[in-house]
């Protein structure tokens, strides 16, 4: 039997999720600085004081939104990678999946622009390492175990690739998005020096 406490917890979770959903739209549209908590609570039909029971300030609300965006980007990386059974193709497709998700209209301002300005550098690095870099390192380990990757530190390689993808995403967010086939060619050429059989000749 559902208790009153359980009902209250479920209601609180639903309210929190709704706040994140609406805040995400505001942050994506207006940016962190121009997003108004008053506008968000009005849309949610709650008071600003009630919002503080869920998030202590606008930054904490932004961090919750950013975490959701990063999780979705990670899911897209895995989804794209799994469209191939070849481990090297998975690496390339996963990189493409990152860029495509990061540059979505609903994500790019939050992930690529405001996150660097709102989140302290050490915290941003920690979040990036726990998401993008970790996913890359895991795939690189799989590629290395299959004998396709050169014998180098996968952590260093992961950071190197992640930095390139972040900057590529920033650039593509400012211009017209290139076609997937074209992106494949660029990323393939970037990574091919790390492939064992590319260095054997």
pLDDT-above-90 percentage for the chain:
71
- Average pLDDT on 134-149 reads 94
- Average pLDDT on 47-73 reads 92
- Average pLDDT on 23-48 reads 93
pTM > 0.85: yes or no: yes
How many Å apart are CA 156 and CA 50, to the nearest integer? 45
- Average pLDDT on 7-24 reads 81
Q: Cβ(134)–Cβ(126) under 8 Å? A: no
User: What does the pLDDT look like over 95-132, one tens digit per residue?
Assistant: 999 999 999 989 999 999 999 899 999 988 888 888 88
Of the candidates 58, 47, 49, the one whose C-alpha atom is nearest the C-alpha of residue 20 is: 58
Query: Residue 201: which pLDDT band, with cuts at 50, 70 and 90?
Result: very low
Q: Which residue has the higher pLDDT, 3 or 28?
A: 28
**pLDDT for residue 200 is more than 60:** no
CA-to-CA dists, residue 62 to 8, 66, 107, angstroms:
24, 6, 12
**pLDDT for residue 77 is more than 60:** yes
């Amino acid at each position: 039997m559902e208790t009153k406490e359980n009902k209250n917890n479920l209601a609180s979770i639903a309210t929190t999720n709704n706040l994140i959903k609406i805040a995400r739209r505001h942050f994506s549209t207006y940016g962190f600085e121009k997003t108004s908590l008053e506008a968000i609570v009005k849309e949610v039909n709650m008071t600003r004081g009630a919002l503080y029971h869920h998030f202590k300030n606008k930054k904490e609300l932004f961090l919750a939104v950013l975490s959701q965006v990063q999780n979705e980007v990670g899911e897209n990386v895995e989804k794209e990678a799994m469209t191939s059974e070849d481990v090297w193709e998975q690496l390339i497709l996963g990189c493409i999946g990152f860029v495509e998700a990061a540059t979505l209209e609903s994500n790019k301002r939050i992930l690529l622009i405001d996150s660097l300005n709102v989140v302290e550098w050490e915290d941003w690095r920690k979040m990036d390492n726990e998401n993008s870099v970790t996913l890359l390192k895991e795939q690189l380990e799989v590629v290395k175990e299959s004998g396709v990757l050169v014998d180098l530190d996968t952590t260093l390689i992961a950071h190197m690739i992640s930095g390139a993808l972040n900057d590529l995403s920033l650039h593509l967010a400012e211009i017209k998005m290139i076609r997937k086939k074209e992106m494949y060619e660029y990323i393939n050429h970037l990574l091919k020096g790390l492939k064992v059989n590319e260095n054997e000749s």
